[in-house]
A = this chain, B = another copy of it.
Amino acid sequence: MNKITIFSPNIYAGLHSYCSQKPQTLEQAIKDPLPSWNSGENKSAIISFVESVTDTASKDFVPEIERVAVFDNDGTLWSEQPLYFQLFFALDRIRDMAENHPEWQEQQPYQAILTNDMKTLSGFGMKELMEILMTSHAGMSTDEFEKFVTDWISSARHPHFDRPYTDLIFQPMLELLTYLRSNGFKTFIVSGGGIEFMRPWVEDVYGIPRDQVVGSSIKTELVMQGDNPVIIRKPSIDFIDDKEGKPVGIWRFIGRRPILCAGNSDGDLAMQQWTAAGEGPSMMLYVHHTDSEREFAYDRDSHVGKFDEALDVANNKGWKLISMKDDWKVIYPFELK
């Protein structure tokens, strides 16, 4: 590499980012910080917003420490169809655990998973889902769970694209994260997904440090194993970082109201409203899944990432609706290769 690359310019940049992205030279970045975004109202609005909050002469100037940007993960930074990727992880965990659970062959919800009985699986409600999540996510130490996640994320492949799940991140959003960070923003993930499911890989993939991840969690407890203190994951919900939980999670973990908020579903509406209710300037972005060819097209009727009430609010309030089909030149980093 002879030229300075501007993707993932900091210490948090991992190997994955370098491998999966086509490096942009410094000159290109200065010319266009968002090269995978088509020119248009949305791209202009983002750049205007960043320029105004970073310009000390602007009435909208925001001190660097207050430049907090929050991003939903599923459907906002990476894809979420046909199921949340974490659910694929849970199903794979159940399959791996089945060897030690012969009783599961005749016991739901496990039987349906082990026999790939899609009809029964698709009829499962919250009760079965919670059992699947708790069985696959609890009952081990945090170190053991991290190894499960790390092994899975480096080997599992998406059923439709036949690629690692971390290939299915959105190139334009990576550029936005980098652009914001290079303008003094601190970027956070605020996801309904599990906090410990995300942390092992988000540093490499998004350049977002572990401590800048807010997510759902189960209870944990410190246990002494002999002289060795170990944190054990318990089969009990601690916090659901979704809907009204998102502003609560932001306040608990970050302690400051964001000035930029990006989401894609009704689950993000509360944090968008709370961001918008701040006193200073703010920008609310909604990724709209409009591209049935390159990704998936869905909104009001989707079982995953339902975007209905929030779509009306976004339209009414004039929040920025980002059309994946119209606003993005590429969806995934691998398209650049």
Mark A residues whose CB is within 8 Å of B.
Answer: 11-12, 63-65, 142, 184, 186, 188, 195-196, 199, 203, 209-213, 217, 220-222, 228-229, 231, 244-245, 247-248, 251-256, 270, 273-274, 277
CA distance A324 to B11 in the complex (A): 36
CA distance A220 to B221 in the complex (A): 22
CB distance from A12 to the nearest CB of B (A): 6
CB-based nearest B residue for A255: B210
Residues of B within 8 A of A212 (CB): 211
CB-based nearest B residue for A272: B229
CA distance A289 to B85 in the complex (A): 51
- Please state if B274 and A247 are interface contacts (CB–CB under 8 Å): no
- Please state if B211 and A253 are interface contacts (CB–CB under 8 Å): yes
Residues of B within 8 A of A255 (CB): 195-196, 199, 210-211, 213
CA distance A11 to B62 in the complex (A): 13
CA distance A248 to B229 in the complex (A): 11
Residues of B within 8 A of A203 (CB): 65
Residues of B within 8 A of A228 (CB): 277
- Please state if B229 and A64 are interface contacts (CB–CB under 8 Å): no
Could you pull out 23 A-B pairs where Cβ atoms are within 8 angstroms? A11-B65, A11-B184, A12-B65, A142-B251, A186-B211, A188-B211, A195-B252, A199-B255, A210-B254, A210-B256, A211-B255, A211-B256, A220-B248, A220-B251, A220-B252, A222-B248, A222-B270, A222-B274, A229-B270, A229-B277, A231-B247, A231-B248, A253-B253
